[in-house]
Structure 1
């Protein structure tokens, strides 16, 4: 295996571990937003797409004669579970889960961009396609989350019993 192929495999392993984290963050957000169809719809669709990306990454790892990094995956899952457990005890789980989902999606974009660019240089077009699809979906999810910040604030306020709040200043 060449040095650049090892780099591709390393970025594939990183992307796989991050996918595990993203899936856990999405699960927490879906649980928190279970009664909000406007939030659950895009999150549910993205969770499906994220599972598809995980399978594609696993296929690319196999094509390179490698597998996911148990250590990286375990670390990401541990972090996600710890965050989720803390989320249940937080005073504002909706706001924190929204923030965490937004950050996770942007980490996914960064990991996908690095993977795509290294795979391009290695001439691995299948990995380029898998990474580009992951980035495209993460960009769409980033916009969907950005469009729902006010909804997250409303959900958070309702969670704390605040019901008499005026709409956001820019709402028409």
Structure 2
């Protein structure tokens, strides 16, 4: 295995651990906004695609005679569990979860861009295709998520006991 191949395997393990974290965060987010279909749809789509890419990355690791890093996966899952345990939780976290999902999808895009380029240099077109797909899906999902900022804020404010905010100039 060349040095470039080792770098590719390390990158695949990193992306796998990242996808594990994304899946855990999205699971908590979906539970928290389960009764808000407009928020569940894009988050659910993101969770479905993250699961797909997690499996595809595992396949690429196996193709290189490697497997996911138990240490990296455990670390990211621990971070996700700790965040869920100490985070705001439930409906008050809707805006936070949308923010985190939006950030996560952009991390996925960045990881995919770097992985694609590394795979191309290492002569691995199959991994490059998986990475390119991650990027394309990521851009689509980011657009879907960004259409829900107002709803996420409204749900979060309701979770804190505030009704729909009044418009500027309305009666108190």
* TM-score normalised by length of structure 2: 0.91
Partner SS for 2:87: helix
Aligned twin of 2:86: 86
| Deviations, residues 131-171 of structure 1 (Å, cap 9, x unaligned) | 11111112212111111111110111111121141469xxx
Q: How many residues align?
A: 168
Task: Give the alignment's Cα RMSD to 1 decimal.
Answer: 1.8
Runs of 4+ in structure 1 off by over 2 angstroms are 88-92
Q: Residues of 1 paired with 2:44 and 2:120: CA distance?
A: 31
Tell me how far 1:91 sits from its aligned partner: 9.7
Q: Residues of 1 paired with 2:111 and 2:93: CA distance?
A: 26
1:4-43 to structure 2, matched below 5 A, reads: 4-43=4-43
Which runs of no fewer than 5 residues in structure 1 stay unpaired? none
Q: Residues of 1 paired with 2:113 and 2:137: CA distance?
A: 12
Q: 1:78 to 1:22 in 2, by over 3 A?
A: same
Q: Residues of 2 paired with 1:115 and 1:7: CA distance?
A: 10
1:86-105 to structure 2, matched below 5 A, reads: 86-88=86-88, 92-105=92-105
1:50-65 to structure 2, matched below 5 A, reads: 50-65=50-65
Q: 1:58 to 1:164 in 2, by over 3 A?
A: closer
Q: Residues of 1 paired with 2:155 and 2:16: CA distance?
A: 31
Q: 1:91 to 1:143 in 2, by over 3 A?
A: closer
| Deviations, residues 30-67 of structure 1 (Å, cap 9, x unaligned) | 11110111111121122111111111000000000000
Q: Which moved more, 1:99-108 or 1:63-72?
A: 99-108
Partner SS for 2:35: coil
Aligned twin of 1:140: 140
| Deviations, residues 99-122 of structure 1 (Å, cap 9, x unaligned) | 222221111111111111100111
Q: Residues of 1 paired with 2:118 and 2:164: CA distance?
A: 52
Aligned twin of 1:72: 72
* TM-score normalised by length of structure 1: 0.91
